[in-house]
């Protein structure tokens, strides 16, 4: 019998141990972080630290928790995760604190996994559910999708500062909303085809309905709040949806209905070097539209979705996203997307030609 643990298959995990989202939370963050270790290594992106670093440092110092700081840059890749492990061991840290966006937080989670330590995440943008999920999306150093790294634990503590998120560029909350919407679009495709869905898959699907309702009703108001750098009830609710609820849906549906074509197309797009500057959620939003075309949804539904995504600030075509759309590039994207394990969740066989044709159709529809 093997002693190896496989987080993907061996057990269910759903949410972080502790989650906080309220104004003023950074000023008291130290007393909550210190529950999880004697000394922490803080890994933060440069911009994130400019926005939140002073408050975190003051709170850590005030709580008496010693810490060292390293700056994250580039990709969430094995090299950056191992750098975190090395720095933690060199400085005697038994706790990792990740600060920043999805790649920074995923790298911190991966580093903590390799180290065998607790991890605290402090998202300064709400562009993905990386802050709460038990998974790190790993890329190569050059930015191409590599693999999903399934972790033994969700983060131990998640600290969400709404004022920092409200003051971030609007594109981040837009991307987070689009990424979260994929849980509904992919879920409604996959779930009905499950012969004997588990309680967990059923719960994931029911929660995706709530997610869709919440985002449909409040996403536009939230984007307006962030455009004005204001915190309001809809921002709190949508941030909780993007960061927390999306992560729960992903965890509950992990083995049966975690994803499908929308995320597979995202992963396919990473073969285009021009896509590496685009946010994850923007590429997933594009993937949702390809997903709808692959399903042969009605023209009116697809056009309504395009219109709504444009209202949220997405440019829903390769041309408008600044990506190449010639035959060779379309073929490369389609082949990588179809080869992705998430495409296997589609209830019918998807071929590269089908993906290529859908991409061309979308370009014709959007112009």
Structure-token pair, residue 97: 């604190």
Mark whether 291 is an active-site residue. Answer: no
Out of 78, 106, 263, 291, the active site residue is 263
| d(C-alpha 91, C-alpha 86), whole Å | 9
* 266 is known as an active-site residue: yes
Kindly write down the DSSP assignment for every residue of 129-198, as one continuous string: STTT-SEEEEE-TTS-EEEEEE-SS--SEEEE-HHHHHTS-HHHHHHHHHHHHHHHHHHHHHGGG-SS--
Both structure tokens of 47 = 């911009």
Measure Cα distances from 270 to 106, 261, 265, 267, 330 in Å. Answer: 17, 14, 9, 5, 12
Angle separating helix axes 327-339 and 261-269, nearest 10 degrees: 130
Write down the catalytic residue from 54, 86, 106, 266: 266
What is d(CA 364, CA 367) in angstroms, rounded to the nearest whole number? Answer: 5
DSSP-derived secondary structure letter, 352: H
Catalytic annotation present for 179? yes
Q: Yes or no: say if 34 and 157 are a contact pair by the CB < 8 Å rule.
A: no
In total, the chain counts a number of residues equal to 367
Show the DSSP H helices in 27-148 as ranges. 29-33, 46-63, 78-91, 102-115
Pick the catalytic residue: 78, 106, 179, 340? 179
Of the candidates 78, 106, 280, 340, the residue annotated as catalytic is 280
Determine whether 263 is an active site residue.
yes
Catalytic residue positions, numbered: 179, 263, 266, 280
């Amino acid at each position: 019998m093997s002693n190896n643990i496989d987080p993907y298959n061996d057990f269910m995990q759903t949410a972080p141990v502790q989650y906080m989202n309220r104004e003023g939370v950074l000023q008291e963050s130290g007393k909550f972080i210190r529950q999880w270790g004697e000394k922490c290594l803080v890994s933060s992106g440069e911009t994130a630290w400019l926005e939140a670093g002073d408050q975190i440092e003051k709170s850590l110092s005030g709580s008496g928790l010693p810490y060292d700081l390293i700056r994250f840059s580039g990709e969430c890749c094995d090299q950056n995760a191992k750098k975190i492990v090395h720095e933690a061991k060199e400085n005697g840290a038994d706790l990792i604190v990740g600060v920043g966006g999805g790649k920074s937080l995923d790298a911190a989670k991966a580093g903590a996994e390799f180290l065998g330590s607790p991890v605290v995440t402090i998202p300064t943008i709400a562009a993905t559910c990386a802050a709460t999920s038990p998974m790190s999306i790993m890329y190569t150093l050059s930015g191409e999708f590599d693999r999903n790294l399934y972790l033994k634990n969700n983060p131990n503590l998640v600290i969400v500062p709404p004022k920092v998120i409200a003051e971030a560029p609007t594109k981040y909350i837009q991307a987070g909303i689009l990424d979260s919407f994929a849980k509904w679009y992919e879920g409604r495709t996959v779930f009905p085809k499950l012969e004997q869905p588990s309680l967990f898959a059923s719960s994931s699907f029911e929660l995706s309905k709530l997610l869709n309702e919440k985002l449909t009703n409040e996403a536009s108001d939230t984007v307006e709040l962030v455009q004005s750098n204001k915190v309001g009830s809809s921002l709190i609710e949508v941030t909780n949806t993007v960061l927390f609820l999306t992560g729960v849906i992903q965890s509950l549906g992990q083995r049966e209905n975690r994803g499908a074509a929308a995320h597979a197309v995202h992963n396919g797009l990473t073969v285009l070097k021009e896509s590496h500057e685009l946010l994850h959620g923007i590429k997933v939003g594009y993937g949702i539209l390809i997903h709808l075309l692959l399903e042969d949804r009605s023209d009116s539904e697809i056009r309504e979705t395009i219109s709504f995504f444009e209202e949220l600030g997405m440019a829903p075509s390769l041309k408008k996203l600044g990506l190449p759309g010639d035959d060779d590039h379309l073929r490369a994207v389609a082949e990588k997307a179809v080869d992705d394990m998430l495409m296997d969740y589609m209830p019918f066989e998807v071929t590269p030609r089908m993906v290529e044709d859908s991409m061309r159709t979308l370009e014709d529809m959007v112009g």
